[in-house]
């Protein structure tokens, strides 16, 4: 595979799609992609995979990274490596018409390598920032690439409807719980997520306050920081919670037992993809809201 990929890089045997009926879409990196609706797509970012399936274009996805878990069909799609450093050779070997990615998943050097192999690369906005507004712009860009703007508009309308219903429930609670996200590979390695993250967006969608909004991005978890953050609830990825030994294991992490969340055992599992804002966020927010306020219900 390596020899094949390198050969393609230097000989340029991979060609871009014909420009007939091409859509011109400008990426977040200033580079414009102008191709006919693609038939073979490598999507590096789980939220982009979900957008493609939601738009009815899941059948075009021939490669993706290992970070996604939805829809179930994505498990059968070829993988091109870690979401933050995918394999250039793996992507080239799949001969895509276009690579769809977001700013945080593909650096400029990697994008240049792919473009050097004559593979169009559309870099969309960072999927962890600017919340639902940024997500809508990414949906609109993907729909435009496939020349199916109505499908994109339908997807955004459905999200708006779900969020409007959730906002009615939030308004009725008149509370603003402090919520902290812990990302852990195991009991000895954990981080909290501050502003400019997908998790921050999720916390705001449920009417909460990010207890780690004192920082931007990620920060190592410390007992002192945990006590100062004083979260009412702690959320963790399903796989993180499993890695630390469940809720009982989470309570043994630095400072957790001293917080209101720890004292009330308010440890809530969330989907493994919430670090990237995607089309299922209204559903994630609804589930999290229900879990947060479970004890307040009759």
Domain boundaries, the chain: 23-163, 175-293
* Rounded Cα gap, residues 67 and 64, in angstroms: 8
Distances (CA, A) of 130 to 101, 143, 195, 218, 286: 16, 19, 10, 17, 19
In CATH terms, are 23-163 and 175-293 the same topology? yes
At 158 the pLDDT is 97
At 288 the pLDDT is 97
DSSP H/E element including 43: strand 41-44
At 138 the pLDDT is 97
- Look at the domain 175-293 and name its fold: Rossmann fold (3.40.50)
**What is the C-alpha radius of gyration for the chain, rounded to an integer number of angstroms?**
21
How would CATH label the architecture of 23-163? 3-Layer(aba) Sandwich (3.40)
At 294 the pLDDT is 83
At 187 the pLDDT is 81
Rounded mean pLDDT for each run of 10 residues along the chain, 298 residues in total: 43 43 88 95 97 98 96 96 95 98 94 97 94 97 96 98 96 93 88 94 97 90 92 96 95 95 96 95 97 70
CB-neighbour burial class of residue 38 (10 A; exposed 0-12, middle 13-18, buried 19+): buried
Instruction: Pick the closest to residue 100 from 78, 120, 71 (CA basis).
Output: 120
At 184 the pLDDT is 93
């Amino acid at each position: 595979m390596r020899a094949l990929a390198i050969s393609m890089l230097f000989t340029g045997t991979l060609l871009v799609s014909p420009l007939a009926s091409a859509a011109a879409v400008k990426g977040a990196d200033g580079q414009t992609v102008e191709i006919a609706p693609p038939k073979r797509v490598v999507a590096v970012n789980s939220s982009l995979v979900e957008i493609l399936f939601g738009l009815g274009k899941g059948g075009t996805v021939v490669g993706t990274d290992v970070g996604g878990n939805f829809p179930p069909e994505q498990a059968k799609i070829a993988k091109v490596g870690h979401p933050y450093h995918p394999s250039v050779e793996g992507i080239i070997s799949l001969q895509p018409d276009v690579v769809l990615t977001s700013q945080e998943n593909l650096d400029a050097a990697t994008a240049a390598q792919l473009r050097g192999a004559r593979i169009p690369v559309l870099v969309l906005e960072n999927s962890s920032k600017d919340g639902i507004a940024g997500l809508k712009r990414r949906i609109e860009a993907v729909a435009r690439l496939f020349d199916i703007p109505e499908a994109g508009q339908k997807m955004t309308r459905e999200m708006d409807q779900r969020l409007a219903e959730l906002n009615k429930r939030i308004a009725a609670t008149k509370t603003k719980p402090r919520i902290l996200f812990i990302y852990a590979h195991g009991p000895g390695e954990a981080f909290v997520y501050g502003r400019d993250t997908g998790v921050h967006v999720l916390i705001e969608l449920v009417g909460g306050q990010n207890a780690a909004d004192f920082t931007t991005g990620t920060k190592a978890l410390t007992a002192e920081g945990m006590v100062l953050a004083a979260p009412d609830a702690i959320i963790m990825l399903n796989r993180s919670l499993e890695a630390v030994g469940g809720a009982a294991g989470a309570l043994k992490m630095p400072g957790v037992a001293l917080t209101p969340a720890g004292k009330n055992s308010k440890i809530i599992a969330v989907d493994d993809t919430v670090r990237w804002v995607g089309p299922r966020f209204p559903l994630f927010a609804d589930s999290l809201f229900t879990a947060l306020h479970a004890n307040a219900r009759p």
